[in-house]
Structure 1
Amino acid sequence: MQNDNQRNLLSKTYNMATPPEMAMRWEEYENLIFTQWQELLNHNPKPSEIEIQSFLEQYPSLVPGAYNIVGGESGHPPTPHGLISQPTLPSYHSYIPDFLWISHNSSCVEPVFIEIESPKKRWFTNSGTFSQDFNQALGQLEDWRVWIKEPINQISFKSFYGLDKYPYNERAFVPYFVLIYGRREEATSNPNWNKKRHEKEKDDLKIMTFDRLTPHY
C-alpha cells in the first residue's frame, strides 16, 4: 500500500492541450531566460533562496544535470522527463535536496542531487576560511552521499522512482551531487580561494556558482 501511494505522487496528473500559438524559437527563448536570470541575480536587494527556487522551477533548463553532470552528455532524456523539485528521499528523514534530475544512459542510472543556496551567501570569511554557510551546505551533500551508499536506501530510492524495473534495473547506479552556491566574482577574486574551492570537489560532487547556470536546449 505504501509503495502504491508513493507511486501516485509521480503519476500523470495533467492532459496535453494544443497550444494557442506556435512556440518561440529556441534562440529567442534562450535569450529571454538568460536575460531574466541575470536580472534576478543582479537585483538589489539580492534574491532569496525561495525566489531562486521558484525561478528555476519555472525555467528548469537552467538547472544542470539532465543529461549527465560528469563526462560526455547522454543522448537519453531524464526520467520521468522532468526536473523534480524538493524530491522525496524515502527512508531519509532530514533536509531534502532542492532539485533532482534522474539522468541515465545505456549503461548507468545517474541521479543528480542538487542543493542551491542564496546567491548572497559568501564563500569565504575575511580571513580566507570557508564560511559557515558554505560548510553547512557542503555537509548536507555529504549526508546524502552517505545515505545513498547504503544498499537498503538505494533499494527504496529505486523502488520509489520506478528504477527497479527494466531497463533501469539492468544498469549501474551512480549518484552525483551538485552544490550551486554564491557568485563568481567572490569565488575567483583571490587565486588561492579559487584553488581551495576546487579542492572541495570530488569525482561525484561538483560545486559551481549561480553565474555558471545557462539555458540548456
Structure 2
Amino acid sequence: MAIGDLPGFTVASGPDAPNPRPYRDALVAEWNRLVNSEDIQLEKVAQKFLERHPSLIPGSHGSHMKYGKWPWPGAVISQPRLPGIAERKPDFLWIASNTTHLLPVLIEIERPDKRWFKRKTLKPHSDFKDANQQIHEWRKWFQDPLNHLNFVRDYKLPDDISRLRVEVQYILIHGRHEEFGDDIERLQDRAAREVEHLRLMTFDTLLPDANAMSYGTVKLDVDKRYKALSAPAMLEVNSLWSRFLNDTDGWQETIENSPDIGSERKQRLLSELAEAYVATRGADQRNPIPGRRRK
C-alpha cells in the first residue's frame, strides 16, 4: 500500500466533485492508524501523507482562522526554502491573507512519539526544546527586513497581498495528546507557551479542514518556480487559479496521475485548468499549460 492510500475509500465516478464525507472518514481513520503506529520513519511518512492530503495541515487561512481568501498559490507549499537556513527548513507553509494582513504560516511536524515534558514534571523535554528552537530561528529570519523582501520576491507574491501588513504565524505539531490527558496543569502549561503567534498542537488532534479540501500541494524549486506535487480527491480548479498559474508547472501531469481522482473528474478538472490558462495567457498561446509539451 502506497503512503496516503485510504482503505475503504472508493474513488468517485462521474465528473462532479465527490461527496466529501466518505473521503473525510477514510482519511481520519488512516491518519489515526498512522499516528499510533511504531514506524521508525514516521516523520518522513507523515510528510508524504500530508503532502497527498493537505486538508489535514492546519493554517490555510491563518493559524486560528477557518475562512479567508484562497492561500497563495492555491496550495500548501511543502518544505519551503528560507534562504540562509540550510538545515531544518519548515515542513509546510501556507501563505494566507485577509483584507488587512499577509499571514505566512510556517508548520513544523515532529514525530508523534516525541515528548513534551520530562517524565511526570512540567519541565519541557529536550524534544520540545529542540522543536521550539527551530521556530525561534525562523522567527529571527523574518525579523530581518531584507529576508521579508526576499520572501515576497521568491514566493512570487502579487502586489495586492505583498503590500499588506505582515504577521508571520507558526504551528508546531508535536507528540500525542495522551501526554496531557486531563492534566489541567499540563494543559495550562501548553496554553501559556502559545505566545507571539505560535500555535501548539498534537498529531492526533489533526482533522481535515472542510475549507481546505479543494487545495493541492506544491513545492518551490531552486529556479523559484512552483512545481505541483499532489492533486487530492477534492481538488477544485476555478477562475482564481489564473492568478498563479504563470508561476506553477506540472498541474496537468499531477491531475492526470492522481490516484485519488476518477477519470471523468480528471477530464473535468483538466478542461477547467485549460480555461484558467487561457484566462492567464490568452487563447493564442501555442503551449497553454507550462511544464507540458504539445504532442
TM-score where L is the length of structure 1 = 0.84
* SS of equivalent residue, structure 1 residue 36: helix
After superposition, the C-alpha distances for 1:27-70 in whole angstroms (9 at most, x for unaligned) are 11111111111111122457621111111111100000001113
Distance 1:47 1:184, change over 3 A: farther
Letter in structure 2 aligned against 1:131:
H
Alignment RMSD: 1.9
Report the Cα distance in structure 2 between the residues aligned to 1:48 and 1:29, rounded to whole angstroms.
22
* SS of equivalent residue, structure 1 residue 83: strand
Deviation for aligned residue 1:130: 1.2
What does 1:64-213 align with in structure 2 at a 5 Å threshold? 64-70=58-64, 72-128=65-121, 129-163=123-157, 165-213=158-206
Asked if the contact 1:104–1:110 (Cα under 8 Å) also holds between the matched residues in 2, the reply is yes
* SS of equivalent residue, structure 2 residue 63: coil
Match of 2:28 among 26, 30, 34: 34
Deviation for aligned residue 1:179: 0.3
- The farther-off stretch of 119-128 and 150-159 is 119-128
Letter in structure 1 aligned against 2:22:
E
Report the Cα distance in structure 1 between the residues aligned to 2:27 and 2:100, rounded to whole angstroms.
33
Letter in structure 2 aligned against 1:32:
A
Match of 1:55 in 2: 49
Letter in structure 2 aligned against 1:49:
E
Deviation for aligned residue 1:91: 3.5
Deviation for aligned residue 1:20: 6.8
Report the Cα distance in structure 1 between the residues aligned to 2:186 and 2:14, rounded to whole angstroms.
49
After superposition, the C-alpha distances for 1:172-196 in whole angstroms (9 at most, x for unaligned) are 1111001000100112353222222
Asked if the contact 1:102–1:109 (Cα under 8 Å) also holds between the matched residues in 2, the reply is yes
Report the Cα distance in structure 2 between the residues aligned to 1:93 and 1:103, rounded to whole angstroms.
24
Unaligned runs of 5+ in 1: 1-18
- Report the number of matched residues: 197
Distance 1:41 1:215, change over 3 A: same
Report the Cα distance in structure 2 between the residues aligned to 1:180 and 1:53, rounded to whole angstroms.
12
Asked if the contact 1:68–1:110 (Cα under 8 Å) also holds between the matched residues in 2, the reply is yes
- The farther-off stretch of 126-135 and 142-151 is 126-135
Report the Cα distance in structure 1 between the residues aligned to 2:39 and 2:81, rounded to whole angstroms.
32
Larger radius of gyration: 2
Deviation for aligned residue 1:90: 2.4
Letter in structure 2 aligned against 1:201:
E
Deviation for aligned residue 1:211: 1.6
Report the Cα distance in structure 1 between the residues aligned to 2:37 and 2:88, rounded to whole angstroms.
28
Report the Cα distance in structure 2 between the residues aligned to 1:172 and 1:107, rounded to whole angstroms.
7
Unaligned runs of 5+ in 2: 1-11, 211-295
Letter in structure 1 aligned against 2:135:
L
